[in-house]
Amino acid sequence: MKYNTCRRFVSCHSILKSAANKTEAQVKGIGCQESKTSSVLEVRGKKYVEDGWTNVTPRILSYLGRNIYLQKNHPLSIIRQKIVGYFYGNYQGHRAAPIFSVHEDLNPVVSTSQNFDSLLIGKDHPSRQKSDCYYVNEENLLRAHMTAHQADLIKSGLDRFLMIGDVYRRDQVDASHFPVFHQVDAVRLFSQSELFGENKGLKLFDKGKRTHDCQESHCEEAAKRVEMDLKSCLMGLSQHLFGLGITHRWTETYFPFTHPSWELEIDFKGEWLEVLGCGIIEQNILKEAGAGDRVGWAFGLGLERLAMLLFDIPDIRLFWSKDSGFLSQFKEGEITKYKPISVYPQCANDLSFWLPKDVMFSPNDFYDLVRITGGDIVEQVTLVDDFTHPKTGRKSHCYRIVYRHMERTLTQEEVNVIHSKIAEVAKATLGVVIR
C-alpha cells in the first residue's frame, strides 16, 4: 500500500526497440508474447496497442503466470496459507462458514483508473510516473499494488475480502528488492447495525471537519470502533505469524486512500521492522464504489518481506529458484529456517559513464537495462559515485554491479563478457558515454 518517491522516466521499452537484434541476443532466454510488428503487445491472451508510455520489458512479462505464491511447499505459499487460515479460523458466520472471501487470480493488467483514480491518487502523484511503474500503454499497466482491485470488488457487492497476487514496480537492485513481488490486501466494511448493533443513538456519519483522528464525514465513535477492530485483527494476525510474545508499535503515516493511516512495526531480533500498512478507507472511495452507506478498513502487506524474516531467506531472488535443493527444504504448514545449499563468491565490476546532455536520466532506466542484459545473476546495482565536472558541468555516474549465480560459481571472464554487453547497451540506448 505504500509508495516511494520516483523520478522521471526515459522509456526502457526503447532499449529493446533501438538495440533491435543485438539487444535480443544479449537478453537471450527472456521469452515474451510480443507481436511481429512490435506495435501490439499480447499479455495473458489480450492484445494492447503500444504507445509512448509502453515500458514493460519481455523479462518482466516472463514472470506473469509463474504464480509461485500458489506453488505447493513454496515459502510464499506457506505464508499465504497461514494468513488465509487466520481469517478463515477467526472470522466465521453462519454454520462456521468464513465471512472473508479470497481472490487469488485477479488479472495483473489493470487500468490507470483502477490503479490510481479509484484510490484518490492524484494526477500529479509521483507514483504514476513511468520511473515507478511498468506500463503496457498509457491506459494500462501491471498493477503496482493489489489495492487496484479494491473498488471493483466492492462494486460487485463484497464487503469482506482478501486480494492476493503478484505486483510490479520498477525499483533498485539488491538482495531485498525485485521488480516482481507479492501482496496480500484486505478490506472489511461495516453497516450501521454491524458496528453499533441496536444502539440507535450512535451514527456512522457526521458533518464535521477532518481531524487528525477522523475523516470529515465520519462520526468520531464510528472511526474509533473501526480503528479498534482493525488493530485487533492485525495484532491477532501478527501473533499468529510471529508468536504471542511479540513487541509492537503503531506509527502514523499517510496513504492517499486511507485516513487515519498507520504502519505496524514489530521488534524482530532487536530491530523495529515494518510489517504492514493500514487505515480507515476514505469515504469518497466507498461512495464511488456504491458503498457510501458503510465505513471500513483496509490493510496491505508483502509476502516476501514476511517470508524472508520467518524463513531466514537472505536473498529475494531465491523465491524464484527452481532448484530442488531450495524447494525441498519447505513443507506446507511449517516454518523452517533456510539452510544455504552452498555459498558462491561474488564478482563485482564498476561501470562509469557521462550522462547524456539535455535528456532526463533516471537510475531506474539503468537498473532495468542491467536486469534485461544480465538477468538473474545480477545481485546488486549501487550508485557509488555521482560526479559533476567543475568546468563543463557535465555529470557522471559510477555504478558497482555485483554478480552472483545462485547455483554455481561464476568466472570473472564470463562476468566481464556480460559487463561489456551492459556497457554497450547503455551506450546504444541511453545515450551515455562510457568513461
For every one of its 435 residues, what pLDDT tens digit does the chain have, with 9 covering 90 and above? 443 333 222 333 333 333 333 333 333 333 334 444 558 999 988 999 999 999 999 999 999 999 999 999 999 999 999 999 999 999 998 888 999 999 999 999 999 999 999 999 999 999 999 999 999 999 999 999 999 999 999 999 999 999 999 999 998 888 888 999 999 999 999 999 999 998 888 999 998 899 999 999 999 999 999 999 999 999 999 999 999 989 999 999 999 999 999 999 999 889 999 999 999 999 999 999 999 999 999 999 999 999 999 999 999 999 998 887 888 899 999 999 998 866 788 899 999 999 998 888 989 999 999 999 999 899 889 999 999 999 899 999 999 999 988 888 999 999 999 999 999 999 999 999 999
Please list the residues that pair with 262 across neighbouring strands.
Answer: 252, 278
Rounded (10°) angle between helices 13-26 and 412-430:
150
C-alpha cell at 208: 464535521
Cα(13)–Cα(43) distance, integer angstroms: 15
How far is C-alpha 243 from the geometric centre of its chain's CA atoms? 26
C-alpha cell at 293: 452507506
Phi, psi (rounded to 5 degrees) for 268: -120, 110
Residue 219's nearest CA partner among 234, 232, 208, 229 is: 208
Residue 268's nearest CA partner among 223, 316, 309, 232 is: 309
Cα(87)–Cα(189) distance, integer angstroms: 15
Buried b or exposed e, range 199-220, using 16+ CB within 10 angstroms: eeeeebbeeeeeeeebbebbbe
Buried b or exposed e, range 15-33, using 16+ CB within 10 angstroms: bbeebeeebeebbeebebe
Question: For residue 159, what are the contacts with CB-CB under 8 A and spacing of at least 6?
Answer: 187, 188, 189, 291, 294, 296
Residue 325's nearest CA partner among 407, 409, 404 is: 407
Cα(372)–Cα(55) distance, integer angstroms: 12
pTM here is 0.80
Cα(308)–Cα(305) distance, integer angstroms: 5
Q: First and final CA of the chain: distance in angstroms?
A: 40
Residue 182's nearest CA partner among 231, 144, 228 is: 144
Report CA-CA distances (Å) from 374 to 25, 32, 384, 416.
Answer: 12, 17, 19, 11
Cα(13)–Cα(215) distance, integer angstroms: 42
Residue 78's nearest CA partner among 355, 291, 310 is: 310
What pLDDT score was predicted for residue 15?
33
Cα(158)–Cα(344) distance, integer angstroms: 49
Alpha helices, DSSP H only, in 198-259? Answer: 220-242
C-alpha cell at 148: 487496484
Cα(393)–Cα(310) distance, integer angstroms: 48
CB 190 within 8 A of CB 295: yes
